[in-house]
């Protein structure tokens, strides 16, 4: 009962109705699907779009090594402590190479075991779907493998986007963002620079860490579906806010969910001892070097306390 009341409070539209979408925080994915269901009853299922993030939303890594929190930590070290002996790579390309290896070797699971069934339930209502991940196109095989292994199937319900290329492509032209539905003022407010390659297929748009609000606007621009409401779910507040802003700018009704189920795990890693992951990576890279002595070390092999200038150059990553 308390949860129902809380949900009612969280879902109450703001009094001023300044925002097109409701901003909600939850640690239960069922709240997201209940909202999808409510819109489907109102608008008809095929006019509702469910957009979801992947990492720490639909899937989380089974171990810390290679997790979203691990990647953020490594990115932070690269930017702020480039001499750290905890770094697995010399540069960002090397980090992506290491991440790709860990995605290949590791498995993932839904943060709540019931999420695949909940998603299937929403898909059964006829709603359209789109996955928006910050992962880049280079990780598509591992990403699709883990989605499938966990019982997700987003291809059949994907938002129809006849104008959207498949394969790898640049999502916008920095000189003419309006040609893909990004008004110049919006593009400038988002700070969009030169585009990075994305890929679209099997219901997944892999955005290479680009602005998710802009990516969703491009997707809606390329779609011929008559979407009346969007429900968005992501574990990162900045992405939720950006989608919220994009929906507001479009005047599109909907709800955005900041999904916090994995926050405890993320904080445990963030503030915890990093020695276990550092040791795990050291053992893995040693094993690979022993098995493939001719190959360049993954990520540049920066697992020892070697000065950056003494490390071997990294082969082009992903
Ligand atoms: Mg995420």
For the segment 272-295, what is each residue's pLDDT rounded down to a tens digit? 999 999 999 999 999 999 999 888
d(CA 45, CA 126): 5
- Å from CA of 182 to ligand 1 middle: 24
- Å from CA of 80 to ligand 1 middle: 22
- Å from CA of 138 to ligand 1 middle: 17
Look at residue 303 and tell me whether its pLDDT is greater than 60.
no
The order of strands in the sheet holding 48-52 is: 21-26, 254-259, 229-234, 48-52, 128-133, 204-206, 198-201, 167-169
Residue 215: closest CA among 185, 247, 237? 247
Q: Can you give the residue ranges of every domain in the chain?
A: 20-61+115-264, 68-106+273-306
Contacts of 138 (CB under 8 A, 6+ apart): 96, 100, 318
Percent of the chain with pLDDT over 90: 84
pLDDT tier at 84 (50, 70, 90 boundaries)?
very high
**pLDDT at site 247:** 97
d(CA 119, CA 117): 5
pLDDT tier at 20 (50, 70, 90 boundaries)?
low
Instruction: Could you please state the CATH topology (level 3) that the domain comprising 20-61+115-264 is classified under.
Output: Rossmann fold (3.40.50)
Half-sphere exposure of 167 (CA within 13 A, CB side): 2
Q: Which residues surround ligand 1, an ion (CB under 5 A)?
A: 53, 55-56, 235
pLDDT tier at 146 (50, 70, 90 boundaries)?
very high
Phi/psi of residue 133, nearest 5 degrees: -115, 150
- Å from CA of 112 to ligand 1 middle: 15
Q: Can you list the positions of beta strands (E) in the chain?
A: 21-26, 48-52, 60-61, 108-109, 128-133, 167-169, 198-201, 204-206, 229-234, 254-259
pLDDT tier at 248 (50, 70, 90 boundaries)?
very high
Look at residue 37 and tell me whether its pLDDT is greater than 80.
yes
- Å from CA of 55 to ligand 1 middle: 4
- Å from CA of 105 to ligand 1 middle: 20
Tell me: the pLDDT tens digits for 172-221? 999 999 999 999 999 999 999 999 999 999 999 999 999 999 999 999 99
Quick one: CA dihedral 12, 112, 259, 168, positive or negative?
negative
**Section 64-91 average pLDDT:** 96
């Amino acid at each position: 009962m308390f949860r129902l009341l809380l949900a009612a409070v969280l879902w109450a539209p703001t009094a001023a109705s300044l925002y097109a979408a409701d901003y909600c925080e939850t640690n239960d994915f069922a709240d997201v699907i209940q909202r999808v269901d409510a819109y489907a009853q109102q608008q008809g299922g095929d006019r509702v779009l469910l957009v979801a993030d992947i990492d720490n939303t639909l899937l989380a890594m089974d171990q810390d090594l290679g997790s979203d929190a691990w990647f953020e930590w490594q990115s932070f070290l690269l930017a702020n402590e480039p001499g750290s002996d905890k770094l697995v790579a010399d540069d960002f390309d090397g980090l992506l190479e290491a991440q790709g290896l860990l995605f290949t070797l590791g498995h993932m699971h839904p943060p709540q075991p019931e999420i695949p069934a909940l998603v299937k339930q929403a898909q059964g209502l006829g709603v359209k779907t789109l996955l928006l991940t910050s992962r880049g196109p280079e990780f598509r095989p591992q990403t699709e493998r883990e989605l499938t292994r966990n019982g997700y199937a987003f291809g059949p319900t994907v938002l129809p986007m006849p104008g959207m290329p498949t394969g790898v492509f640049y999502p916008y032209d920095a000189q003419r963002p309006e040609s893909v539905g990004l008004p110049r003022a919006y593009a400038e407010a988002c700070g969009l620079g030169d585009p990075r390659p994305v890929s679209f297929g099997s219901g997944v748009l892999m955005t290479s860490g680009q602005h998710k609000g802009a990516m969703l606007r491009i997707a809606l621009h390329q779609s011929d579906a008559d979407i009346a409401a969007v429900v968005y779910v992501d574990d990162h507040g900045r992405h939720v806010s950006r989608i919220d802003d994009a929906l507001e700018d479009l005047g599109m009704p909907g709800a955005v969910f900041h999904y916090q189920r994995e926050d405890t795990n993320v904080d445990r890693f963030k503030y915890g001892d990093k020695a276990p992951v550092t040791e795990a990576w050291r053992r893995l890279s040693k094993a690979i070097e022993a098995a493939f002595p001719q190959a360049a070390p993954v990520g540049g092999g920066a697992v020892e306390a070697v000065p950056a200038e003494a490390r071997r150059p990294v082969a082009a990553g992903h």
